[in-house]
Amino acid sequence: MTTTPPETDAARALRALEDSNPTVRLRAALAIGTTPGPCFVGKLVERCAVEPEFFVRDMLTWALVRHPVDLTLPELLREVRSERAQARSQALHTLSKTGDRRAWPHITPALLSDPDDEVARSAWRAAVVLVPEGEQPSLATVLATQLGRGERQTRLSLSQALVALGEASVPALRTATAAPDPRVRVHALATQALLRDPDAGFEPAIEEAKRVVALTGSPGADDEDRADR
């Protein structure tokens, strides 16, 4: 008569990550992060790509960060190239938490302009954390191409990223205030206001920027009027 060997703690935790109950998955991620080990890294990354609950994803990220970055970095860098948007977003989010600048070359312009807003937002946050000294102005120029994009949370995330870059964002924002698209001009002006006073609040900055754009009209309008006369 044969007997089934008892399930190890590691095997039990890995199986619990697939449980239908999100509380069980949360506890499994917590247990893995408390006692990290190489056998968990691949499964944690894999689960990040499909986990539907935000609070569980957050714990999965915490558990990954508890592992040595030399183990997690290769897995995360593969995920930023995934066809699955959540996989890209979560990998970028985790990279921003590790802060390892070896990931910087993988934060590509394609990711910074990803068509999925959540991926783009994660890429902006990661880029601000990982950007090497001296590369901030170039990053600001790329980020400024996304001004005017998306709904409130997306615009707020972009403004926060540009504000985090500080003075390096000033030239790119100045250029954007003369963009043909009024949405870009509003967003650029609001971000300039936040750069001057980070405590000003995003909504008041947007409303004031809208007022300014409405009063000033399109860039070059005065020159066109003079030319017509």
* pLDDT reading at 8 higher than 90: no
Please provide the average confidence, as pLDDT, over all residues in the chain.
92
Dist. CA 182–CA 197, nearest whole Å: 22
| Rounded percentage of the chain residues whose pLDDT exceeds 70 | 92
Q: How far lies 71's CA from each of 36, 38, 41, 76, in Å?
A: 11, 7, 7, 9
Tens digits of residue pLDDT in 153-204: 999 999 999 999 999 999 999 999 999 999 999 999 999 999 999 888 999 9
Query: pTM for the whole thing?
Result: 0.89
DSSP 37: -
Superfamily of domain 7-130: Leucine-rich Repeat Variant (1.25.10.10)
* pLDDT reading at 223 higher than 70: no
Angle 9-16/22-34 helices, nearest 10 degrees? 140
Dist. CA 206–CA 163, nearest whole Å: 15
Q: How far apart are the first and last CA of the chain?
A: 102
What are the sequence ranges of the domains in the chain?
A: 7-130, 137-220
* pLDDT reading at 21 higher than 50: yes
Residue 216, pLDDT score: 86
Tens digits of residue pLDDT in 137-153: 999 999 999 999 999 99
Q: How far lies 171's CA from each of 65, 139, 141, 176, in Å?
A: 35, 12, 8, 9
